[in-house]
Amino acid sequence: MYTPAYFSIDREKVGIDEKELKRRLSVSGDFDVSVYEKAIKSVLAESTPKACFIKVPVTTDGDEISFPFVSFQSRDLSKNLSGCKEAFVFAVTLGHGVERLLSKMSRLSSADFFIYDAVGSALAESVCDIAEDMIKGDIPCKPRFSPGYGDVPLSVQRDVLSALNAEKLLGITLTETNLMIPQKSITAILAVSEEFGMRNAE
């Protein structure tokens, strides 16, 4: 049985990753983050960051990857998983308040919407980093991997969210085209790299 555990993250502890924000805003060269202070504050004020996770066995056979709840093909992820027998699967979200705020901005100002959306994305990454640290603790893990990233099919999202009970626990739903709402949500697979010896077998 893999019943997901979940927790909230104190938004006071969520900081903005300037590099990430810069990337999201498509800005290069000098970057003055203070220009975006108001947007960062507004998005943070509406956010209710939460996460949920499970720890599950995983097997790979060539590019075929099998979790207890879904199997699929991915060369990129199978490389990432090589030598691993277990993985954390987790989801984070900034919550519906941020989704509402972005929906509002999209109707009122394209410029503000662009900035707020970038801030939301950057904050979601920060939340994901915090959640990852809390979930893995001292356990050494590979870099996290998200559905839709590389050649991991986006359709896996539905099985991942369902295994995580993410609709009930975090309020994350999918559109018919497998996009997450709230949009500032991230799912990820975090391979446990305990079995160092297995690496050589590949």
Among 143, 177, 196, 197, binds another protein (CB under 8 A): 177
Does 83 bind another protein (CB under 8 A)? Our answer is: no
Phi, psi of 131 (to 5 degrees): -60, -45
Q: Does 164 bind another protein (CB under 8 A)?
A: no
Range 110-114, long-range pairs (CB < 8 A, 24+ positions): 112/39, 114/25
Cα dist. 142→136, 150, 170, 193 in Å? 10, 16, 25, 6
Burial of 113 (0-12, 13-18, 19+ CB in 10 A): middle
In sequence order, the β-bridge partners of residue 8 are 50
Cα of 77 vs its chain's centroid, Å: 15
Based on CB atoms, which residue is closest to another protein, 130 or 161? 161
Contacting residue, 11, 23, 55, 85, with another protein by CB under 8 A? 55
For 52, half-sphere exposure in the C-beta direction (CA atoms, 13 angstrom radius) is 20
Instruction: Please say which residue, 61 or 176, places its beta carbon nearer to another protein.
Output: 176
Residue selected from 47, 77, 81, 99 as contacting another protein according to rule CB under 8 A: 99
Q: How far is the CB of 200 from another protein (least distance, A)?
A: 27
Strands 71-73 and 64-66: antiparallel
Which range, of 76-84, 112-120, 122-130, 186-194, touches another protein by CB under 8 A? 112-120
* Min CB(124)–another protein separation in Å: 15
Interface pick for another protein out of 1, 32, 34, 62 (rule CB under 8 A): 1
Q: Which residues sit at the interface with another protein, rule CB under 8 A? A: 1-6, 8, 25-28, 35, 48, 54-55, 68-70, 95-97, 99-100, 103-104, 106-111, 113-115, 117, 154, 159, 162-163, 167-171, 173-179, 181-183
